[in-house]
Structure 1
Amino acid sequence: MADLARLQGRNFLVIGRAGMDLYADPPGTRIEEATRFTTTLGGSSANIAVALTRQGCRAALLTCVSDDAVGRFCLNQLDAYGINRTHVRAVAGEARNSLAVVETRLENCQSVIYRNNAADFAMTLADVEAVDYPAFSALITTGTVLAAEPSRSAAFRAFHLARAAGLPLIFDVDYRPYSWASAAEAAEVYSRAAALCDVIVGNDVEFGFMAGHPDLGLEKARTLIAEGAQIVVYKMGENGAVTITPQGEFATGIYPTQALKPTGAGDSFLGSFIAALAAGLPVRDAVLRGSAAAAMVVARVGCAPAMPTGTELDAFLAHHSGPTA
């Protein structure tokens, strides 16, 4: 078990994809009717890294991008957001960056994801073994990185090296069925990863998936604590979240907002939650800051550019009603 006080070093290594998001413009436009799009940085891990930097932390991304114009777009965006890309490797050949074509719509929001021969799955043992783990405060990864080889084995090797260096391991389940060969394989790999981690965050569907039955998700979350995890956040959408620690569990609500879209909430929650823990806040307060950040992001266009700064989040919490009971 790692010491979570190490988070207060506020320097995070994030493993996983960076991609390009294309948003149908103006907001409300359906993809099939769009004549123009707005480009932003995307990819769950890159979004989390942006959320962390916006909250005053440092973040380095460990991944691969395609050696083409889309990959270079991602590199330029990482630079613009102040994310350390020392450990981002360009992959030549037929590998392609993740690309998402998305709508800014709340009802029937379409998101078309292109992940064929994804460049981020090319991450190798050599990539993760080149990292100076003691320089970081924690390792953060999303479940997407585990969906294919060689990325999966490389990620588990990174877990081992980070643990040897005393880093807390933080896991955002982030289950994307289209990335996996089978649901059974995904459930087994996710459970294996979660069992190694100190902080696990996911939604009710994801925990139910790992448990093998939708009704057993909360019990799965509790089991992870019993087996050694330090914090598990079981999110339930508009019904808030249940947070479980060895000391007990508590429920929190959400911050009502005028949402434009459903995307980006999870990445914003995780980044702001971890930034709050790194600032020394109690777990409950950190969960509420994550929930508030999620409410802010779904009310804005895009994901990475929608991540709030610390000042914006403070203002939202000071003037916004909530959370719900």
Structure 2
Amino acid sequence: MKAIVQERFGPPGTLRLAEIDRPEAGAGQVLVRVRAAALNPYDWHMMRGDPYVARLSGGVGLTRPKSRVAGIDAAGEIEAVGAGVPGVRPGDEVLGFCPGSFAEYARTGADLLVAKPAGLTFEQAAAVPMAAVTALRGIRTVGRARAGQRVLVNGAGGGVGTFAVQIAADLGAEVTGVCSAGNAELVRSLGAAHVVDYAREDFTDGRVRYDLILDNVGNRPLGRLRRALTPAGTLVANGGGSPGRVFGALGSMLRLTAVDTLVRQRLRPILPAAPAGPTHQDLLAVTALIEAGRLTPVVDRTYRLADAAEGVRHVERGHARGKAVIVVP
């Protein structure tokens, strides 16, 4: 099968299209015929082995990528079902977490997949797993947003942000989205009552205070962010980082946790959703919102499998409008 492989850590140029053996579904697993795979900041972190401290955890790889095939989000059709997997059969259309999704086929645990909503294309469906689940956790699970609250989403035009704005608005919150001027109309159309152009305004100036801030960007000091919160408000920091950093977001996350013990405000770090925790229930929750017409994926642009490196470069620059997606023929 065709797949995007990587033999060493490095920039997007280390990714290459190759012919490799097709994986087989083991017990408790399914094999997915990938039709589309989303591009995430997670992918370039794995590509570069960034932050360096993550290599010590064993999940990334110490001197070279632990997973030779890139990608994590996918939508497609079940090709084969392993032993002990009830309720699914070949031909079922699914979305979810499929490690090695930048390929024609990917093997994954059956509990990491859910049925694809019938109204979504494969490209839209692939945009859902990591970004939508991260947004759900940030706004609803950790942020505890509720009707009538003022909620601000920093990075509202990105993959997580476009889902977060919709989820917060659906809960009845008064949503402010921080984004570029070029994304303002998109963010308004998703349910934001107010839009802040980050190039012209500073939402941390204290003139408006918010009950909940979901920070997907990490470009403001903690003290400034706290200034924008109500006295009992909640800050949810979505972990990220820049290429080449030794500790990435870990340092700021630890500081956030330490300060949280000293103040009345709730300061909570989260990491982008991955195949861990209550993933299946979260996937069911976001697809239920999609099926009810209350949540819609935003696809920025699509790439061919052979052009995956170009897609990763686009996401790494940090200016994606919604999600970028690889189409696998």
TM over 0.5: no
Which one has a bigger Cα radius of gyration? 2
More strand by proportion, 1 or 2? 2
